[in-house]
Structure 1
Amino acid sequence: MAEQHSSETKLSKVEIIKKNSRHLRGTIEEALQDGSSHFSEENVQVLKFHGMYQQDDRDLRAEAKRLGRERYYSMMIRARIPGGRLNASQYLEFDNIADTYGNGTLRITTRQTFQVHGILKENVKSTLQHLHQVLITTLGGCGDQVRNIICCGNPLENGFRKQIHSDLHKMVSQFSAKTNAYHEIWLDGERWKSEEDLPEEEPLYGEIYLPRKFKIGFTVEGDNCVDIYANDLGIVAHPDPAEEKVEGYTLLVGGGMGRTASIPDTYPRLATPLCFVTPEELAQVSMEIVKIQRDFGNRNDRRYSRFKYLLDERGISWFQEELENRVGYRLASPRQLVWLSGSDHLGWHSLKDDQWYLGLFVRNGRIMDTHDMRLKSVLKELLETYEFDIQLTSQQNLLLVGIHSQQRDEVEKKLRNAGVHLPVDYSQAVLHSMACPALPTCGLATAESERVFPEVMERMEKLLAETGLSEISLPIAIRMTGCPNGCARPYIADIAFVGRTPGKYDIFLGGGILGNQLNMRVLELVPIEKLDEVLRPVLQDYAETAATHETFGAYCHRVGLDGLRAKMEAAVIG
């Protein structure tokens, strides 16, 4: 194994915890028997690799303090679902877990997987064992390793797409952690006989794993439904024009959304086109890319440990030379990429053999029942009745796959009777909107997001209608997050509201529906009740002055930061 860090490197606290964890064992087993409601900070860091975060209900913190009791702790568990594909049995097990151990809801993430919130410490092991029974793991759902690998959600089956998924699963295998800790702790697996065996468990990750998380995504040229430029490694498939197979892949490197508001030299970054590889070269080249981040990434300060900072510090030329030295040959130049759509695969679409799939919009990715919409219940009924496959998308939506023509009317009737709206019932602005969970569970959130976003979107829909922008050819994508970390990928949206303090947001403008352009921070600390009115003069000017086919993002960059800020500051003063 290549050296991961020099002996002189000063490791951060988290790196030391990983190093001493005995390949992700920590003292988790002992903690499961100690009778407490929560894990220690050291075990919390290790548990991330097992696919879970310790959280507490922040709405109840004040009450807990007043009563002199500890916080209301629980775990959020995140699965690893490569490409977001599930069969009916797997989905129904998640549904069961949400009711039995969680808070009764399922959350689709932007990494095409499920999060289950509200699981008590005492129920974690049972939860993971239930998932194991349907061949689902949470190992790799979180932590400083290659996370869940995502893929374009279009479920159309042909030789080309089958090859993409085959290559994806090969990469899942090569990047999966090899430690036996997960099986030992959660599945009562066989223990290692001696400490001397432990270093052999992780030929890629070693004893301290990666400096930070590493995200990989696949898509097809022309279809950027996964926001490919937001990934540490983006893999764009090119079809062979003569045959139904993949000719090769263009690789993009160094994408990432996270930033820290108080530190100016942290920033979002779009991935840079690096090279073109054949399907036979993909696995090795991808492995060496991850190894370079392993060997050279910042292990002293986690704020600068993502892959993007290594690339910008050393330079793309250095990186390519290092990569070519490792693979032993000169890499081909990347293909010129053309993007036709960044929209999700919603609505009715035909498949082969008289079958269809139905893409359902899931507001903010939350599958639950409310008084008006019984989404969770009707999905359970449909899957128990018809055993459809499920495709989760990276825009937090869900596709029902394998619906026969004679079932279409009945499926649609059941959905509507449950109060579930189909995509045709929503505005384009809503269909392209996303928000992160934020409060009350996320420990990093500084402001609300998911809970307030529906009301914010109502006001934004009204504003778009009043300015004549409701039905433009390229819709305006609006996203909200509760902090600057960027879990809903706000920095490539047309309009983004990024939480800074309770009730106040920074406004970013100028991304786009195609996901290949960063936006700009125009105003800071805007009160939530003024978000729509502050944007009114900009949207009105866009409606009145935009050139034919000029997107809102292109308009924003044409007007420029100063021009946008002047229009919006006038609205703030007014």
Structure 2
Amino acid sequence: MSTEYKPNSKLDPNAKFADNERLKTQSNYLRGTIEADLKDPLTGGFTADNFQLIRFHGMYQQDDRDIRPERAKQKLEPLHNVMLRARMPGGIIKPSQWLAIDKFAEEKSMYGSIRLTTRQTFQFHGVLKPNIKEMHQMLNSVGIDSIATAGDVNRNVLCTTNPVESQLHQEAYEWATKISEHLLPHTKAYAEIWLNGEKTETTEEPILGSTYLPRKFKTTVTIPPNNEVDVHANDLNFVAIADNGKLVGFNVLVGGGLAMTHGDVNTYPRKADDFGFIPLEHTLKIAEHVVSVQRDWGNRVNRKNAKTKYTLDTFGADAFKAEVQKRAGVEFEPSRPYEFTHRGDRFGWVEGIDGKHHLTLFIENGRILDYPGKPLKTGCRKIAQIHQGDFRMTANQNLIIAGVPADQKATIEQLAREHGLINDEHTVQRKNSMACVALPTCPLAMAEAERYLPELVTQVEGLLDKHGVADDSIILRVVGCPNGCGRAMLAEIGLVGKGLGKYNVYLGGNREGTRVPKLYLENVGEDVYLPALDELIGQWVQERQSDECFGDFVIRKGIVAEVKVSKTDFHA
């Protein structure tokens, strides 16, 4: 079967494709003229199509927006640099790898930090053009790459960390790795450009096709009852089904996604549909053909409607599922029972069934850097120098020191406490709050998120304390724009940037991450939404039912309507 993209007959064959389709077609399988740009001393950035093509190699061109006006006054171009996102399926990284990325961040990045992300990996920020190739070669030397962590491809595959059930987690992690490898681009462009690999001709992309996917594609493997990866934020999800602690297969969920565009009612966040159960042996085949159907049926005219969630809503989930079954030669079985009960990380020490110990550290905003009185980066480095197990980055931007023998626990905990990696004063609310990077580096950000979150959490902590529930929490997320990176569209309270100091406020997600919230306040500042939250939290405390979370309360009381079908309900 040909993998070349052909417009689906149900779409307008005369419609003009988005320009991204042209640049992918003309890119010579993602090579473009990136090598020539690297040698251009006249600009610190990448030009023309290469600005987009480097994303397929795991990088975004950015600049420091805080200093952009001053540089413009000096008639200088913006201080171009790149952010790199590594490919780390399941978020597992060895101590030796950690030490290597720590050294590079310290010596070669503008900000010196390691940023843990909601995609269960790390990012470098502020890498200047002369250091980019060295960065890729350093990563390669320790067994890491950034292939397909951005762009119109399947991105880093997430996996529930779940360190307690070590055997089940190991199996799930291995499947996350297999899926990641199976769906990677076949082009050797990455090795040729960044690793001085031998140049070879690419003649086909067996799964992704010569023009790759219509839009980004995200995949997870998750182990109930923990939904820490937020399955409903992703295009394709494999929900682990176990029998007596042994993985036997997956329920497959398709069509989740959170990105939208302000003011465009044709865009919306959407939950994934449950297609049914598959035995383990069909996992890669089903993954491949969910991708291939999206490749062939996805919208290549309007990128705002190009993700899998819109393909399901355009053609129908049943038709999409039937096509996957036809191509894979596999019938989905009825879904096996499972339940999500929470999605947060388990902080502190837990012991696995293998007798090893695991320490989950809360990293506010995922930013690992040495702060005054809180040298987090130094602490992680010192732990990596003696740690005998591995590190696990979580989808909630936290870090697990995993596989610690009993006789090393005290030493690692002491190092963590000495360097501010353990702070007993952090509230449950702070640990259940999250933000995307936003300003100053993200070019899409309309408002603050990472830099604002600590202050906002303090305000919300004050409201909880005022109403006598300081030990309770609400899932709170803040993002600088509506593109979905911080997963605010699965929060009980989600703030989505609209302008400097202004946010749209969404209410009504739940603890389990299985409901999309709905707009409550539009384009407002602290002077409006903090008093509103004060009143609502007070009402929640007084009128809630037993253990009723804030999101369930605002739905039950009709403060916002429940979003059941996003296409019809979200903007209604």
- SS of the residue corresponding to residue 67 of structure 2 reads helix
| 2:68 is equivalent to residue 58 of structure 1 | no
Deviation at 1:518, TM superposition (A): 1.1
Tell me: CA distance 1:151–1:289, structure 2 relative to 1, closer, same or farther (3 Å): same
- SS of the residue corresponding to residue 406 of structure 1 reads helix
1:72 matched residue in structure 2: 79
1:231 matched residue in structure 2: 234
The 1-side partners of 2:351 and 2:329 are apart by 45
Tell me: CA distance 1:147–1:238, structure 2 relative to 1, closer, same or farther (3 Å): same
The 2-side partners of 1:198 and 1:563 are apart by 51
| 2:57 is equivalent to residue 27 of structure 1 | no
2:162 matched residue in structure 1: 154
- SS of the residue corresponding to residue 97 of structure 2 reads helix
- SS of the residue corresponding to residue 6 of structure 2 reads coil
| Pairs within 5 Å for 1:512-531 | 512-531=510-529
Tell me: CA distance 1:322–1:397, structure 2 relative to 1, closer, same or farther (3 Å): same
| Pairs within 5 Å for 1:161-560 | 161-192=169-200, 197-200=201-204, 202-241=205-244, 244-352=245-353, 354-422=355-423, 424-472=424-472, 475-560=473-558
Amino acid at match of 2:263: S
- SS of the residue corresponding to residue 319 of structure 2 reads helix
42-51 or 408-417, larger mean C-alpha shift: 408-417
Deviation at 1:105, TM superposition (A): 0.4
Deviation at 1:329, TM superposition (A): 4.2
Task: Please say if residues 63 and 78 of structure 2, whose CA atoms lie closer than 8 Å, have aligned partners that are also in contact.
Answer: yes
Show CA shifts across 1:370-402 (max 9, x none).
102100001101111234410000000000012
Amino acid at match of 1:76: M
Task: Please say if residues 518 and 561 of structure 2, whose CA atoms lie closer than 8 Å, have aligned partners that are also in contact.
Answer: no
Task: Please say if residues 155 and 391 of structure 1, whose CA atoms lie closer than 8 Å, have aligned partners that are also in contact.
Answer: no
The 1-side partners of 2:129 and 2:181 are apart by 29
Deviation at 1:354, TM superposition (A): 4.4
2:97 matched residue in structure 1: 90
Task: Please say if residues 3 and 208 of structure 2, whose CA atoms lie closer than 8 Å, have aligned partners that are also in contact.
Answer: no
Task: Please say if residues 231 and 256 of structure 1, whose CA atoms lie closer than 8 Å, have aligned partners that are also in contact.
Answer: yes
The size of the alignment, in residue pairs, is 554
| 2:119 is equivalent to residue 111 of structure 1 | yes
Structure 1 residues without counterparts, runs of 5 or longer: 565-574
| 2:145 is equivalent to residue 137 of structure 1 | yes
The 1-side partners of 2:241 and 2:353 are apart by 22
Task: Please say if residues 199 and 206 of structure 1, whose CA atoms lie closer than 8 Å, have aligned partners that are also in contact.
Answer: no
Tell me: CA distance 1:170–1:493, structure 2 relative to 1, closer, same or farther (3 Å): same
The 2-side partners of 1:240 and 1:161 are apart by 14
2:47 matched residue in structure 1: 40
Task: Please say if residues 520 and 561 of structure 1, whose CA atoms lie closer than 8 Å, have aligned partners that are also in contact.
Answer: no
250-259 or 6-15, larger mean C-alpha shift: 6-15
Task: Please say if residues 275 and 331 of structure 1, whose CA atoms lie closer than 8 Å, have aligned partners that are also in contact.
Answer: yes
What's the TM-score once normalised by structure 2's chain length? 0.94
Show CA shifts across 1:504-538 (max 9, x none).
01111111221111111100111135432221111
2:566 matched residue in structure 1: none
Tell me: CA distance 1:420–1:285, structure 2 relative to 1, closer, same or farther (3 Å): closer
Amino acid at match of 2:32: G
The 2-side partners of 1:369 and 1:212 are apart by 37
Task: Please say if residues 554 and 560 of structure 2, whose CA atoms lie closer than 8 Å, have aligned partners that are also in contact.
Answer: no
Task: Please say if residues 229 and 395 of structure 2, whose CA atoms lie closer than 8 Å, have aligned partners that are also in contact.
Answer: yes
The 1-side partners of 2:494 and 2:55 are apart by 28
Deviation at 1:409, TM superposition (A): 2.2
The 2-side partners of 1:480 and 1:523 are apart by 14
Deviation at 1:417, TM superposition (A): 1.9
1:568 matched residue in structure 2: none
Show CA shifts across 1:7-64 (max 9, x none).
7552211111111000010000111111121101310111000000000111111111
2:10 matched residue in structure 1: none
The 2-side partners of 1:301 and 1:353 are apart by 50
Deviation at 1:563, TM superposition (A): 9.0
The 2-side partners of 1:94 and 1:182 are apart by 19
Tell me: CA distance 1:158–1:400, structure 2 relative to 1, closer, same or farther (3 Å): closer
- SS of the residue corresponding to residue 370 of structure 2 reads coil
Moved segments of 4+, more than 6 Å: none
- SS of the residue corresponding to residue 66 of structure 2 reads helix
The 2-side partners of 1:388 and 1:176 are apart by 28
Tell me: CA distance 1:9–1:227, structure 2 relative to 1, closer, same or farther (3 Å): same
Deviation at 1:480, TM superposition (A): 0.2
Tell me: CA distance 1:425–1:406, structure 2 relative to 1, closer, same or farther (3 Å): farther
Task: Please say if residues 152 and 215 of structure 2, whose CA atoms lie closer than 8 Å, have aligned partners that are also in contact.
Answer: yes
The 2-side partners of 1:562 and 1:490 are apart by 16
Task: Please say if residues 297 and 305 of structure 1, whose CA atoms lie closer than 8 Å, have aligned partners that are also in contact.
Answer: yes
Amino acid at match of 2:426: Y
437-446 or 35-44, larger mean C-alpha shift: 35-44
Structure 2 residues without counterparts, runs of 5 or longer: 8-12, 563-572
2:565 matched residue in structure 1: none
Task: Please say if residues 251 and 277 of structure 1, whose CA atoms lie closer than 8 Å, have aligned partners that are also in contact.
Answer: yes
552-561 or 427-436, larger mean C-alpha shift: 552-561
The 2-side partners of 1:390 and 1:528 are apart by 38
Amino acid at match of 1:443: P
Show CA shifts across 1:155-191 (max 9, x none).
3464433322222222112101111111100000001
Amino acid at match of 2:328: V
Amino acid at match of 1:254: G
- SS of the residue corresponding to residue 247 of structure 1 reads strand
Amino acid at match of 1:264: V
Tell me: CA distance 1:329–1:391, structure 2 relative to 1, closer, same or farther (3 Å): closer
The 2-side partners of 1:330 and 1:66 are apart by 63
Task: Please say if residues 153 and 345 of structure 1, whose CA atoms lie closer than 8 Å, have aligned partners that are also in contact.
Answer: no
Task: Please say if residues 11 and 299 of structure 1, whose CA atoms lie closer than 8 Å, have aligned partners that are also in contact.
Answer: yes
158-167 or 80-89, larger mean C-alpha shift: 158-167
Amino acid at match of 2:38: L
The 1-side partners of 2:345 and 2:167 are apart by 22
Amino acid at match of 2:203: P
2:569 matched residue in structure 1: none
The 1-side partners of 2:223 and 2:353 are apart by 20
- SS of the residue corresponding to residue 41 of structure 1 reads coil
